């Protein structure tokens, strides 16, 4: 697998993370682009082409939310150097991606570095109804589709009943136009971005992996989107 590294972690992600540990995010800052855009996107395209069943899922019920998310993202992309017309998007790495609005999440997965999870309220909890998850860290999409938040986080030791209630309150309370963000950070033996298997541990853990996670509400569909922007750096390269 390709070794894709950023040069440094953003300064905001150099401290110690905690659960749920969220804070306010700028209205447009749930979407980012960094120096690893081109190689990360090449890897994403390969995974989507070769292993779509492992990295992509969209239910019919999630399609309106996915369409809304695509339009929301398209409004932000020009500031990163994307060229957009009615039929296609020219990306900063030179790729031309056809705008297939009948497959909104699939299209968006070819444009942005973020992994994208769409969750919709069913009963008391939000359920994962669509996802483009090319860079998982210790979890498999197939195990989580159509599952509520508590089941999605069940392997996480720190995710007890109190944290579960707090996270559900976050998903219930996040307002449209007022996204939230948090981050995590762990040491890894392997720099591979696609790690659905359990993380290996040992004395030789030369890479730090940090996810910038954002939670935003889509105003029309009322769905909640959980985005993941993944950084991997070699230990010692920790400050932006």
Per-residue pLDDT of the chain (240 residues; tens, 9 = 90+): 789 999 999 999 988 887 667 899 999 999 999 999 999 999 999 999 999 999 999 999 999 999 999 999 999 999 999 999 999 999 999 999 999 999 999 999 999 999 999 999 999 899 999 999 999 999 999 999 999 988 776 555 555 566 777 788 889 999 999 999 999 999 999 999 999 987 777 778 999 999 999 999 999 999 999 999 999 999 876 555
Give the strands of the sheet with 83-84, arranged side by side. Answer: 83-84, 88-90, 96-98
Q: Which residues have a Cβ under 8 Å from the Cβ of 49 and sit 6 or more positions away?
A: none
Please state whether 94 falls in left (phi above 0), alpha (psi between -120 and 50) or beta.
Answer: left
Q: How many CA within 13 A on the CB side of residue 82?
A: 26
Q: Terminal CA-to-CA distance of the chain, rounded, Å? A: 26
Give the angle subtended at the CA of 39 by the CAs of 84 and 205, to the nearest 5°.
140
Residue position matching structure tokens 């994208």? 116
pTM for this predicted structure: 0.93
């Amino acid at each position: 697998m390709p070794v894709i590294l950023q040069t440094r972690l953003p300064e905001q992600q150099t401290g110690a993370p905690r659960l749920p540990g969220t804070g306010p995010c700028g209205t447009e800052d749930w979407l980012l682009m960094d120096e690893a855009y081109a190689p990360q996107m090449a890897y994403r395209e390969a995974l989507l082409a070769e292993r779509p069943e492992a990295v992509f899922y969209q239910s019919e019920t999630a399609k309106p939310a996915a369409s809304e998310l695509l339009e929301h993202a398209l409004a932000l992309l020009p500031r990163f150097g994307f060229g957009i017309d009615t039929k296609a998007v020219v990306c900063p790495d030179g790729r031309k991606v056809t705008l297939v609005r009948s497959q909104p999440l699939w299209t968006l997965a070819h444009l942005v570095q973020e992994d994208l999870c769409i969750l919709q309220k069913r009963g008391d909890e939000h359920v994962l109804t669509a996802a483009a998850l090319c860079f998982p860290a210790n979890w498999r999409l197939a195990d989580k589709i159509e599952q509520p938040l508590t089941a999605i986080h069940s392997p996480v030791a720190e995710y007890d009943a109190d944290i579960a209630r707090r996270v559900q309150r976050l998903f219930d309370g996040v307002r449209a136009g007022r996204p939230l963000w948090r981050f995590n950070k762990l040491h890894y033996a392997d720099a591979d971005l696609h790690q659905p298997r359990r993380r290996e541990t040992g004395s030789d853990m030369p890479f730090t992996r940090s996810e910038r996670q954002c939670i935003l509400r889509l105003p029309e569909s009322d769905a909640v989107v959980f985005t993941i922007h993944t950084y991997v750096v070699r230990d010692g390269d920790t400050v932006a």
